[in-house]
Amino acid sequence: MEHAVQTPPIPSPPGPLRLAMVLPSMRRAGAESVVATLCRSLAALGVDVHLVIIGHRYEYQGVLSRSGVHLHHLDLYNKPIPFYRQDVHWWIRRQLRDFFRTLRPDVAHFHLFHSLVWGGAAAYAAGAATVYTAHGQDPWLIGTDWASRWRKGQFLRSMRRSHCRLLAVSPSVAQHQQQGLRCAATAIDIQPNPLDLSLWHPAPTTESPPRRAIMVGTLYPLKRVQDGILALRILTDTIPEAELWVVGDGPERLRLEAEARQRVLKKKVTFWGVRNDLPTLLPQAGVAWLLSEREGMPMAALEAMASGIPLVVTDVPGSRDLVQHEYNGLLVPVGHPEAVAQATRRIWEEADLRHRLVAGGLATADRYEAGRVARQHMERYAQRVTDNRR
Protein backbone atom coordinates (compact mmCIF):
# COMPACT_ATOMS: atom_id res chain seq x y z
CA MET A 1 0.00 0.00 0.00
CA GLU A 2 1.24 3.47 -0.73
CA HIS A 3 2.84 5.57 1.99
CA ALA A 4 2.74 9.37 2.11
CA VAL A 5 4.94 10.69 4.89
CA GLN A 6 3.67 13.38 7.19
CA THR A 7 6.17 15.23 9.41
CA PRO A 8 5.48 17.74 12.19
CA PRO A 9 6.12 21.40 11.35
CA ILE A 10 9.56 22.67 12.38
CA PRO A 11 10.53 26.35 12.55
CA SER A 12 12.75 27.37 9.63
CA PRO A 13 16.12 29.04 10.22
CA PRO A 14 16.33 32.82 9.64
CA GLY A 15 16.66 33.89 6.00
CA PRO A 16 16.35 31.77 2.89
CA LEU A 17 17.71 28.25 3.28
CA ARG A 18 20.75 27.72 1.04
CA LEU A 19 20.62 24.17 -0.26
CA ALA A 20 23.23 22.26 -2.27
CA MET A 21 21.65 19.34 -4.16
CA VAL A 22 24.57 17.12 -5.15
CA LEU A 23 24.78 14.36 -7.79
CA PRO A 24 27.59 12.64 -9.70
CA SER A 25 25.91 13.51 -13.01
CA MET A 26 22.52 14.43 -14.49
CA ARG A 27 21.78 11.74 -17.05
CA ARG A 28 18.19 10.94 -17.92
CA ALA A 29 17.34 8.33 -15.29
CA GLY A 30 15.07 7.85 -12.30
CA ALA A 31 16.97 9.45 -9.41
CA GLU A 32 18.13 12.35 -11.57
CA SER A 33 14.58 13.03 -12.74
CA VAL A 34 13.41 13.06 -9.13
CA VAL A 35 16.15 15.54 -8.18
CA ALA A 36 15.24 17.85 -11.07
CA THR A 37 11.60 17.92 -9.94
CA LEU A 38 12.57 18.46 -6.30
CA CYS A 39 14.93 21.32 -7.21
CA ARG A 40 12.22 23.14 -9.16
CA SER A 41 9.65 22.64 -6.44
CA LEU A 42 11.94 23.83 -3.64
CA ALA A 43 13.00 26.89 -5.64
CA ALA A 44 9.32 27.74 -6.14
CA LEU A 45 8.90 27.70 -2.35
CA GLY A 46 11.70 30.23 -1.87
CA VAL A 47 14.65 27.93 -1.10
CA ASP A 48 18.00 29.09 -2.48
CA VAL A 49 18.69 25.90 -4.47
CA HIS A 50 22.13 25.14 -5.89
CA LEU A 51 22.31 22.04 -8.11
CA VAL A 52 25.85 20.66 -7.97
CA ILE A 53 26.83 18.25 -10.77
CA ILE A 54 30.23 16.69 -10.09
CA GLY A 55 30.72 15.05 -13.51
CA HIS A 56 30.17 16.17 -17.09
CA ARG A 57 26.69 14.89 -17.99
CA TYR A 58 23.90 17.45 -17.76
CA GLU A 59 20.82 16.37 -19.70
CA TYR A 60 18.19 18.47 -17.94
CA GLN A 61 18.86 21.92 -19.35
CA GLY A 62 15.35 22.26 -20.72
CA VAL A 63 13.71 20.99 -17.54
CA LEU A 64 15.63 23.33 -15.24
CA SER A 65 15.91 26.44 -17.38
CA ARG A 66 14.18 29.49 -15.89
CA SER A 67 13.38 27.51 -12.73
CA GLY A 68 15.34 29.70 -10.30
CA VAL A 69 17.80 26.85 -9.60
CA HIS A 70 21.49 27.86 -9.57
CA LEU A 71 23.59 25.43 -11.58
CA HIS A 72 27.16 24.44 -10.69
CA HIS A 73 28.38 22.11 -13.43
CA LEU A 74 31.83 21.18 -12.08
CA ASP A 75 32.84 18.70 -14.81
CA LEU A 76 35.42 17.01 -12.54
CA TYR A 77 35.36 13.75 -14.51
CA ASN A 78 34.16 12.90 -18.00
CA LYS A 79 33.91 9.11 -18.05
CA PRO A 80 32.79 6.39 -15.62
CA ILE A 81 35.26 5.77 -12.82
CA PRO A 82 35.52 2.12 -11.68
CA PHE A 83 34.16 1.82 -8.16
CA TYR A 84 37.43 0.31 -6.89
CA ARG A 85 39.33 3.46 -7.96
CA GLN A 86 36.96 6.01 -6.44
CA ASP A 87 38.99 6.41 -3.30
CA VAL A 88 42.18 7.36 -5.13
CA HIS A 89 40.68 10.41 -6.84
CA TRP A 90 41.80 12.82 -4.13
CA TRP A 91 41.78 15.75 -6.53
CA ILE A 92 37.98 15.45 -6.90
CA ARG A 93 37.67 15.60 -3.12
CA ARG A 94 39.99 18.63 -2.96
CA GLN A 95 37.98 20.43 -5.62
CA LEU A 96 34.75 19.74 -3.74
CA ARG A 97 36.35 20.87 -0.47
CA ASP A 98 37.22 24.23 -2.01
CA PHE A 99 33.82 24.48 -3.69
CA PHE A 100 31.82 23.94 -0.49
CA ARG A 101 34.05 26.37 1.42
CA THR A 102 33.03 29.01 -1.11
CA LEU A 103 29.33 28.11 -1.44
CA ARG A 104 28.78 27.50 2.30
CA PRO A 105 25.34 25.88 2.06
CA ASP A 106 23.12 25.38 5.10
CA VAL A 107 22.27 21.88 3.88
CA ALA A 108 23.99 19.56 1.41
CA HIS A 109 21.65 16.86 0.10
CA PHE A 110 23.50 14.00 -1.61
CA HIS A 111 22.07 11.51 -4.09
CA LEU A 112 23.78 8.33 -5.31
CA PHE A 113 26.87 6.71 -3.83
CA HIS A 114 29.67 8.70 -5.55
CA SER A 115 28.43 12.11 -4.48
CA LEU A 116 28.50 11.28 -0.77
CA VAL A 117 31.84 9.44 -0.89
CA TRP A 118 33.51 12.34 -2.67
CA GLY A 119 31.76 15.33 -1.14
CA GLY A 120 30.07 14.45 2.15
CA ALA A 121 32.98 15.20 4.47
CA ALA A 122 33.84 18.37 2.54
CA ALA A 123 30.32 19.74 2.89
CA TYR A 124 30.22 19.00 6.62
CA ALA A 125 33.62 20.63 7.13
CA ALA A 126 32.22 23.76 5.43
CA GLY A 127 29.44 23.91 8.03
CA ALA A 128 26.60 22.22 6.14
CA ALA A 129 24.11 19.81 7.64
CA THR A 130 24.13 16.75 5.42
CA VAL A 131 21.43 14.42 4.10
CA TYR A 132 21.66 11.36 1.83
CA THR A 133 18.73 9.83 -0.05
CA ALA A 134 18.77 6.11 -0.82
CA HIS A 135 16.77 5.71 -4.04
CA GLY A 136 16.90 1.96 -4.51
CA GLN A 137 17.97 -1.43 -3.21
CA ASP A 138 21.68 -1.56 -3.92
CA PRO A 139 22.94 -5.18 -4.15
CA TRP A 140 26.36 -4.21 -2.73
CA LEU A 141 24.74 -3.19 0.54
CA ILE A 142 23.95 -6.80 1.46
CA GLY A 143 26.57 -8.54 -0.71
CA THR A 144 29.30 -10.68 0.88
CA ASP A 145 31.90 -10.53 -1.92
CA TRP A 146 35.00 -8.36 -1.48
CA ALA A 147 33.75 -5.62 -3.82
CA SER A 148 30.47 -5.24 -1.91
CA ARG A 149 32.25 -5.18 1.44
CA TRP A 150 34.71 -2.59 0.17
CA ARG A 151 31.96 -0.37 -1.18
CA LYS A 152 29.88 -0.64 1.97
CA GLY A 153 32.93 0.31 4.00
CA GLN A 154 33.41 3.41 1.87
CA PHE A 155 29.77 4.36 2.33
CA LEU A 156 29.79 3.88 6.12
CA ARG A 157 32.99 5.89 6.49
CA SER A 158 31.48 8.71 4.44
CA MET A 159 28.31 8.66 6.53
CA ARG A 160 30.34 8.95 9.73
CA ARG A 161 32.69 11.66 8.47
CA SER A 162 29.82 13.78 7.16
CA HIS A 163 27.47 13.17 10.14
CA CYS A 164 24.85 12.42 7.48
CA ARG A 165 21.16 11.71 8.03
CA LEU A 166 19.82 8.89 5.87
CA LEU A 167 16.53 9.14 3.96
CA ALA A 168 14.85 6.32 2.01
CA VAL A 169 12.25 6.80 -0.70
CA SER A 170 10.03 3.90 0.43
CA PRO A 171 9.57 1.47 3.34
CA SER A 172 11.19 -1.31 1.30
CA VAL A 173 14.30 0.78 0.64
CA ALA A 174 14.43 1.73 4.34
CA GLN A 175 14.24 -1.93 5.33
CA HIS A 176 17.00 -2.79 2.83
CA GLN A 177 19.23 -0.03 4.22
CA GLN A 178 18.53 -1.10 7.78
CA GLN A 179 19.47 -4.69 6.97
CA GLY A 180 22.62 -3.77 5.05
CA LEU A 181 23.89 -1.13 7.50
CA ARG A 182 22.72 -3.04 10.59
CA CYS A 183 21.22 0.08 12.07
CA ALA A 184 18.06 0.84 14.00
CA ALA A 185 14.89 1.65 12.11
CA THR A 186 14.90 5.08 13.78
CA ALA A 187 18.17 5.92 12.00
CA ILE A 188 16.37 6.13 8.64
CA ASP A 189 13.55 8.50 7.67
CA ILE A 190 11.14 7.61 4.89
CA GLN A 191 10.74 10.49 2.45
CA PRO A 192 8.95 9.71 -0.84
CA ASN A 193 9.75 11.14 -4.24
CA PRO A 194 7.88 14.15 -5.66
CA LEU A 195 5.66 14.06 -8.73
CA ASP A 196 5.05 17.22 -10.75
CA LEU A 197 1.35 16.80 -11.54
CA SER A 198 1.40 19.79 -13.90
CA LEU A 199 3.31 17.65 -16.43
CA TRP A 200 0.90 14.73 -16.52
CA HIS A 201 -2.65 14.79 -17.84
CA PRO A 202 -5.08 11.85 -17.68
CA ALA A 203 -5.96 10.21 -20.98
CA PRO A 204 -9.57 10.72 -22.15
CA THR A 205 -11.93 8.04 -20.86
CA THR A 206 -12.86 5.55 -23.56
CA GLU A 207 -14.75 2.28 -23.64
CA SER A 208 -12.20 0.82 -26.05
CA PRO A 209 -8.67 1.56 -24.76
CA PRO A 210 -5.72 1.28 -27.15
CA ARG A 211 -4.40 -2.27 -27.39
CA ARG A 212 -0.96 -0.92 -26.66
CA ALA A 213 1.31 -1.58 -23.67
CA ILE A 214 4.13 0.78 -22.69
CA MET A 215 7.29 0.13 -20.66
CA VAL A 216 9.43 3.04 -19.43
CA GLY A 217 12.89 2.85 -17.90
CA THR A 218 16.59 2.33 -18.44
CA LEU A 219 17.12 -0.94 -20.29
CA TYR A 220 18.96 -2.94 -17.65
CA PRO A 221 18.46 -6.72 -17.15
CA LEU A 222 16.69 -6.16 -13.82
CA LYS A 223 13.89 -4.29 -15.65
CA ARG A 224 13.01 -7.57 -17.43
CA VAL A 225 11.76 -5.97 -20.62
CA GLN A 226 12.14 -9.39 -22.25
CA ASP A 227 9.15 -10.52 -20.13
CA GLY A 228 7.13 -7.76 -21.77
CA ILE A 229 8.12 -9.00 -25.22
CA LEU A 230 7.09 -12.55 -24.28
CA ALA A 231 3.80 -11.27 -22.83
CA LEU A 232 3.11 -9.46 -26.09
CA ARG A 233 3.77 -12.68 -28.02
CA ILE A 234 1.10 -14.38 -25.88
CA LEU A 235 -1.36 -11.49 -26.26
CA THR A 236 -1.12 -11.41 -30.07
CA ASP A 237 -2.45 -14.97 -30.23
CA THR A 238 -5.89 -13.66 -29.21
CA ILE A 239 -5.51 -9.88 -29.73
CA PRO A 240 -3.63 -9.54 -33.05
CA GLU A 241 -3.56 -5.73 -32.91
CA ALA A 242 -1.71 -5.65 -29.56
CA GLU A 243 1.64 -3.83 -29.58
CA LEU A 244 4.36 -2.69 -27.19
CA TRP A 245 6.20 0.62 -26.87
CA VAL A 246 9.54 0.60 -25.03
CA VAL A 247 10.74 4.03 -23.89
CA GLY A 248 14.32 4.29 -22.66
CA ASP A 249 17.81 3.17 -23.57
CA GLY A 250 20.56 1.11 -22.02
CA PRO A 251 22.91 -1.85 -22.39
CA GLU A 252 20.09 -4.31 -23.11
CA ARG A 253 18.64 -2.52 -26.12
CA LEU A 254 20.37 -4.44 -28.93
CA ARG A 255 19.60 -7.79 -27.30
CA LEU A 256 15.95 -6.83 -26.78
CA GLU A 257 15.58 -5.67 -30.39
CA ALA A 258 16.98 -9.04 -31.50
CA GLU A 259 14.54 -10.79 -29.15
CA ALA A 260 11.61 -8.96 -30.75
CA ARG A 261 12.80 -9.94 -34.23
CA GLN A 262 13.25 -13.56 -33.16
CA ARG A 263 9.68 -13.63 -31.83
CA VAL A 264 8.46 -12.25 -35.18
CA LEU A 265 7.36 -9.09 -33.38
CA LYS A 266 9.57 -6.52 -35.11
CA LYS A 267 6.58 -4.51 -36.31
CA LYS A 268 4.78 -4.95 -32.99
CA VAL A 269 7.51 -3.61 -30.68
CA THR A 270 8.68 0.00 -31.02
CA PHE A 271 11.88 1.07 -29.26
CA TRP A 272 11.61 4.83 -28.77
CA GLY A 273 14.90 5.40 -26.96
CA VAL A 274 15.20 8.26 -24.48
CA ARG A 275 12.37 10.76 -24.94
CA ASN A 276 11.48 14.09 -23.40
CA ASP A 277 7.83 13.90 -24.46
CA LEU A 278 6.73 11.06 -22.18
CA PRO A 279 3.65 13.02 -20.99
CA THR A 280 2.46 12.85 -24.61
CA LEU A 281 3.35 9.19 -25.17
CA LEU A 282 1.83 7.72 -22.00
CA PRO A 283 -1.80 8.69 -22.69
CA GLN A 284 -1.58 6.83 -26.01
CA ALA A 285 -1.18 3.50 -24.20
CA GLY A 286 -3.89 1.21 -22.86
CA VAL A 287 -1.73 -0.27 -20.09
CA ALA A 288 1.67 0.35 -18.50
CA TRP A 289 3.93 -2.55 -17.58
CA LEU A 290 6.61 -2.40 -14.86
CA LEU A 291 8.09 -5.90 -14.66
CA SER A 292 11.27 -5.26 -12.65
CA GLU A 293 13.00 -7.64 -10.27
CA ARG A 294 13.28 -4.85 -7.71
CA GLU A 295 12.43 -1.16 -7.37
CA GLY A 296 12.97 1.71 -4.95
CA MET A 297 10.00 4.00 -5.48
CA PRO A 298 9.07 3.52 -9.16
CA MET A 299 8.40 6.89 -10.72
CA ALA A 300 7.36 5.14 -13.94
CA ALA A 301 4.40 3.71 -12.03
CA LEU A 302 3.45 7.09 -10.52
CA GLU A 303 3.70 8.82 -13.89
CA ALA A 304 1.42 6.21 -15.46
CA MET A 305 -1.08 6.68 -12.63
CA ALA A 306 -1.04 10.46 -13.11
CA SER A 307 -1.66 9.89 -16.83
CA GLY A 308 -4.73 7.74 -16.14
CA ILE A 309 -3.08 4.55 -17.47
CA PRO A 310 -3.83 1.23 -15.70
CA LEU A 311 -0.80 -0.64 -14.36
CA VAL A 312 0.47 -4.20 -14.38
CA VAL A 313 3.39 -4.37 -11.93
CA THR A 314 5.54 -7.16 -10.54
CA ASP A 315 4.96 -7.96 -6.88
CA VAL A 316 8.38 -6.88 -5.60
CA PRO A 317 9.64 -4.61 -2.79
CA GLY A 318 9.32 -0.96 -3.73
CA SER A 319 6.55 -1.52 -6.24
CA ARG A 320 4.19 -3.05 -3.71
CA ASP A 321 4.79 -0.10 -1.39
CA LEU A 322 3.07 1.99 -4.05
CA VAL A 323 0.68 -0.39 -5.83
CA GLN A 324 -2.23 -2.08 -4.09
CA HIS A 325 -3.67 -5.01 -6.03
CA GLU A 326 -6.99 -4.20 -7.74
CA TYR A 327 -7.05 -0.69 -6.25
CA ASN A 328 -4.49 1.21 -8.36
CA GLY A 329 -2.91 -1.61 -10.34
CA LEU A 330 -2.59 -5.36 -10.77
CA LEU A 331 0.32 -7.24 -9.19
CA VAL A 332 1.85 -10.24 -10.95
CA PRO A 333 4.77 -12.56 -10.09
CA VAL A 334 8.25 -11.78 -11.43
CA GLY A 335 9.20 -13.70 -14.55
CA HIS A 336 5.67 -14.77 -15.55
CA PRO A 337 4.76 -13.32 -18.96
CA GLU A 338 1.57 -15.41 -18.95
CA ALA A 339 0.38 -13.59 -15.83
CA VAL A 340 1.21 -10.22 -17.45
CA ALA A 341 -0.82 -11.15 -20.55
CA GLN A 342 -3.75 -12.37 -18.45
CA ALA A 343 -3.79 -9.22 -16.30
CA THR A 344 -3.64 -7.05 -19.42
CA ARG A 345 -6.59 -8.86 -20.99
CA ARG A 346 -8.59 -8.22 -17.83
CA ILE A 347 -7.82 -4.49 -17.96
CA TRP A 348 -8.73 -4.21 -21.63
CA GLU A 349 -11.89 -6.31 -21.40
CA GLU A 350 -13.33 -5.40 -17.96
CA ALA A 351 -14.44 -1.78 -18.00
CA ASP A 352 -15.33 -1.67 -14.29
CA LEU A 353 -11.87 -2.91 -13.31
CA ARG A 354 -10.19 -0.48 -15.68
CA HIS A 355 -12.08 2.52 -14.34
CA ARG A 356 -11.40 1.47 -10.74
CA LEU A 357 -7.66 1.17 -11.36
CA VAL A 358 -7.55 4.55 -13.08
CA ALA A 359 -9.41 6.26 -10.24
CA GLY A 360 -7.18 4.63 -7.63
CA GLY A 361 -4.07 5.60 -9.56
CA LEU A 362 -5.08 9.24 -9.85
CA ALA A 363 -5.80 9.38 -6.11
CA THR A 364 -2.40 7.82 -5.35
CA ALA A 365 -0.53 10.21 -7.65
CA ASP A 366 -2.13 13.18 -5.91
CA ARG A 367 -0.58 12.13 -2.58
CA TYR A 368 2.91 12.67 -4.00
CA GLU A 369 2.28 16.12 -5.50
CA ALA A 370 5.64 17.88 -5.79
CA GLY A 371 4.81 20.96 -3.71
CA ARG A 372 3.59 18.83 -0.82
CA VAL A 373 6.69 16.61 -0.89
CA ALA A 374 8.98 19.65 -1.22
CA ARG A 375 7.49 21.13 1.95
CA GLN A 376 8.21 17.85 3.75
CA HIS A 377 11.83 18.15 2.62
CA MET A 378 12.00 21.74 3.88
CA GLU A 379 10.85 20.60 7.31
CA ARG A 380 13.53 17.92 7.38
CA TYR A 381 16.18 20.41 6.28
CA ALA A 382 15.17 22.84 9.02
CA GLN A 383 15.48 20.08 11.60
CA ARG A 384 18.92 19.10 10.30
CA VAL A 385 20.14 22.71 10.44
CA THR A 386 18.88 22.99 14.02
CA ASP A 387 20.61 19.74 14.98
CA ASN A 388 23.81 20.83 13.24
CA ARG A 389 23.96 24.09 15.21
CA ARG A 390 23.65 22.42 18.59
Cβ-based burial of 207 (10 A; exposed 0-12, middle 13-18, buried ≥19) = exposed
Give the residue ranges of DSSP H helices in the chain: 30-44, 61-64, 90-103, 113-125, 146-162, 171-181, 225-235, 253-262, 278-281, 299-306, 319-322, 337-349, 351-367, 370-388
* Nearest partner of 67 among 52, 84, 50, 54, judged by Cα: 50
| pLDDT at site 4 | 44
What 3-state class would DSSP assign to 351?
Answer: helix
* pTM tops 0.85: yes
Q: What is the pLDDT of residues 205-229, one digit of tens each?
A: 778 899 999 999 999 999 999 999 9
Q: What is the pLDDT of residues 80-125, one digit of tens each?
A: 666 555 555 688 999 999 999 999 999 999 999 999 999 999 999 9
Determine the CATH number of domain 18-194+369-388. Answer: 3.40.50.2000
| pLDDT at site 389 | 79
- Contact between residue 214 and residue 245 where contact means Cβ atoms under 8 Å apart: yes
The answer to whether domain 18-194+369-388 and domain 197-367 are alike in fold is yes
The residue that leads in pLDDT, 231 or 150, is: 231
Pick the CATH number of 197-367 from 3.40.50.1820, 3.30.540.10, 3.40.50.170, 3.40.50.2000: 3.40.50.2000
Cα dihedral 276, 280, 281, 283 in deg (nearest 10): 150
| pLDDT at site 11 | 40
- All structural domains of the chain with their residue ranges: 18-194+369-388, 197-367
Q: What is the pLDDT of residues 43-68, one digit of tens each?
A: 999 999 999 999 988 888 878 888 99
